[in-house]
Amino acid sequence: MHGNQGAGRYKGSGTAHCQVPDVCAFTGLIPSCMAVTIEGERRLDKIYPGDILLVLGRIGYSPVQRVTEVGIDLSLRPEARPLLIRTGALDARSPIRDTVVAPQSLLCLDEVLVPAAALVNGRSILPAPVSGQVRYLHVEMCVHEMIIVDGIRVATEPAGDGLCRPLLEAPEALDRIRAYIAARIDRPEAPGSLGQPGIPGPRLGRGP
């Protein structure tokens, strides 16, 4: 990594520093993303170890183990540029607002984990209009989990062995997901159809 881009910190009352693996330059969420806690939605940069989040890997609630932060200079790492996912790009209720994620963040669609970069179409999912420095936050639970962020099911950072869902491997499955997302572009949604914050929409592939 260049400069101090590998330095992250454990969020909480302490100030301990740790070395963040290079992969963290390409995963994570920006601080303003809203995650669903046991008390409702909260900005990601206001979530700390011990806070209870809604999880969908095992369905229920689970405490955060740690939140790690990494800063990236996009002039040195342009491939780490975040992606903008527009409101309703994935489903009528997902996301519930424009959302920005790192390119290799894993989204759960059709019960498989898909890197956000694999879904870029230049219209509803596209590179975010940002430059300079970007901050990514990484949430870890006791096991690999899915949390709800702005209405999207997003995988947490790996913890131990095993993933909460399988990684997408079949090209035809990706083609089907991308086709579903493309069909949603410019589709009018009735006012109020986004539903309640943090409630995931139906699985892709079950029709619009």
Classify 31 as helix, strand or coil. Answer: coil
Alpha helices in the chain, H assignment, sequence order: 171-184
The per-residue pLDDT of the chain, averaged, comes to 80
Name which of 14, 33, 20, 191 is nearest 101 in CA terms: 33
pLDDT at 202 over 70: no
- What's the sign of the alpha-carbon dihedral 73, 78, 79, 80? positive
Comparing 9 with 46, which gets the higher pLDDT?
A: 46
Least Cα distance to 113 among 66, 57, 182 occurs for 57
Give mean pLDDT, residues 95-107.
Answer: 94
Residue 3 burial (C-beta neighbours within 10 Å; 0-12, 13-18, 19+): exposed
The pLDDT > 70 percentage for the chain reads 76
Block residue for tokens 């790690």: 68
Residue linked to tokens 């997901």: 177
Given this model, what pLDDT does residue 160 score?
Answer: 64
Q: What token pair was written down for 25?
A: 């330059």
Are 47 and 105 spatial neighbours (Cβ–Cβ below 8 Å)?
no
* Averaged pLDDT for residues 173-180: 93
pLDDT at residue number 200 = 41
Look at residue 108 and tell me whether its pLDDT is greater than 80. yes
CA–CA dist 136, 26 (Å, integer): 9
- The pLDDT score that the predictor gives to residue 166 is 81
Does residue 30 register a pLDDT over 70?
Answer: yes
Least confident of 26-30, 178-182, 200-204: 200-204
Mean pLDDT of 102-110: 93
Lowest mean pLDDT among 17-21, 27-31, 73-77, 83-87: 17-21
Single-letter residue type at 82: P
Is it the case that residue 6 has pLDDT exceeding 50?
no
Is pLDDT at 82 greater than 80 in this prediction? yes
